[in-house]
Structures are given as C-alpha cells and as structure tokens.
Amino acid sequence: MLKIAHRGAKAYEPENTLQAFQKALDLNSDGIELDVHLSADEDIIVIHDETIDRTTNGKGLVNDFTLAELKSFLIDGKFQIPTLNEVFDLVDKKCLINIELKGLGTPSKVVTLIEEYISEKNWNYNHFIISSFDWNMLQETSNLNPNIPIGVLTEENLDTPLAFAEKIKAKAIHPDFNLLNEENVHQIQEKGFLVLPWTVNSEKDIQKVKSYNVNGIISDNPDKI
Ligand code: G3P
Ligand code: CA
C-alpha cells in the first residue's frame, strides 16, 4: 500500500512547495504527487492552478511569466514556487514522483527531463509515474517514450479510462476514490493495473479504501494511511 503525499504533504505545509515535499519525505511517504505548468521561457513549474493568484502574492497566468519572474512571487510570504528539477534534486530517488500534467506543452518537457535524470543521474523509470485528466497529453507522453509509467486520472467513470489505459499500456488507474468498491478495484487489478485513488484524507475514508485492497492512496496527510 503506497502512501503518496498529495501536492506534497499538503495538510502540513503549503502545497507544491519544496517544504511540502520535504515534509512528505520526513513522514516516510512512498511517493509524492505534484502538478506542472510551463513558464513563458518553458521551464517546468510545479504549481496546481494555471494562475499564481490563489497560492502566491502575485496575479496572472503562470505561462505569462518567466522563471525569474515567477521566483519573485512568494507563497505564504516566504516560499518560492519550485521547478520540477528542484523537486527531483530534493527527492533524490528517495520516493516515487507522480507528475500530474496540467499545462499545455508539459508532456515533451517532462519526458525530456525524466530521460535526462535516467541517463545522467542514475534514476530509473520506476521513480516516476505521469498522470493527467487530459488523456491527449498521456497519449503524447506514451508516443514520446512508451517506457514511462502512466496513470490514467478519472473522476467520472471507470470503463472509458480502463479502455484508454489498455490502449496506451498504462501502469495505473488514478480514480476519484468515490468511484471505487471492492469489486471494481479487483476487476481493475485483474486487468493488470494498479489502483491509486485520490484524494483520501479522513480516517474513515482511508479505512474504507484500504478495505478494497487498493495499491496505494494519494492523500494530503499520508501519515494517516
Ligand atoms: O492526482 C490526483 C489529484 O491530484 C487530482 O486532482 O485537483 O488535486 O490536481 P487535483
Ligand atoms: Ca494533482
């Protein structure tokens, strides 16, 4: 049962910050989940929304700013927005990294960065899983490098994502946990996919999905899993 820290250990530190990912490591998480967009100069930026409005003291679209400009905005008055390679360097192979592709243009940039860490820094494909609600981006990722593990995100049903997962030979299905029961978890696993539900936070919900024998849980408080 993998304990995966959603946007870092979001219950304890500001989401998608190096501090949140360090907290996830301190809590012995098996993995972290994070979200990515591109800056105007095409660096991979770790942030959930397409704007910086909710999480920083700035305003505007992530991809209207250069990396240097994005670094000048603060999260909670003290933290900077991290790049994906800063997160890779912090994690340093200590746990799985689930990269959720959010922004346009992210698939080719993320694939290139993963390939760089594998060829130059002794990482391997099992250190990563790429997920997205945008299945075109997952298809693009698979076309670019079919060895990169893929998790198909879904919040509406399980049949269509399962068919797509079979088509692109995905590793996992990442469903909204409310879609699951013991029977369908078993059915998905019988087809050869891991089941990694999100975002399971309360003790009651964690116990419920654990009883379905899922392969892992994405949670703001991974220490409760
Ligand atoms: O990866 C699961 C979860 O992160 C998807 O929802 O909105 O938190 O990115 P969201
Ligand atoms: Ca996410």
Residue located via tokens 């304890």 = 12
Domains and CATH numbers, the chain: 2-224 (3.20.20.190)
The predicted pLDDT at position 89 comes to 98
Q: For a substitution probing ligand 1, which of 100, 131, 201 has the most ligand atoms within 8 Å of its CB?
A: 100
Give catalytic status of residue 48 as yes or no.
yes
Give catalytic status of residue 174 as yes or no.
no
The predicted pLDDT at position 186 comes to 98
Report how far apart, in Å, the C-alpha atoms of 141 and of each of 144, 162, 164, 168, 193 are.
5, 17, 14, 10, 18
What ipTM does the predicted assembly reach?
Answer: 0.98
Residues 6+ apart with CB under 8 A from 184: 158
Gap between the Cα atoms of 189 and 197, Å rounded: 13
Could you tell me the pLDDT band of residue 76, with boundaries at 50, 70 and 90? very high
C-alpha of residue 222 to centroid of ligand 2, in Å: 15
pTM of the predicted model, to two decimals? 0.98
Average pLDDT over residues 1-27: 98
The predicted pLDDT at position 6 comes to 98
Gap between the Cα atoms of 60 and 124, Å rounded: 36
List, for residues 105-127, the tens digit of each pLDDT value. Answer: 999 999 999 999 999 999 999 99
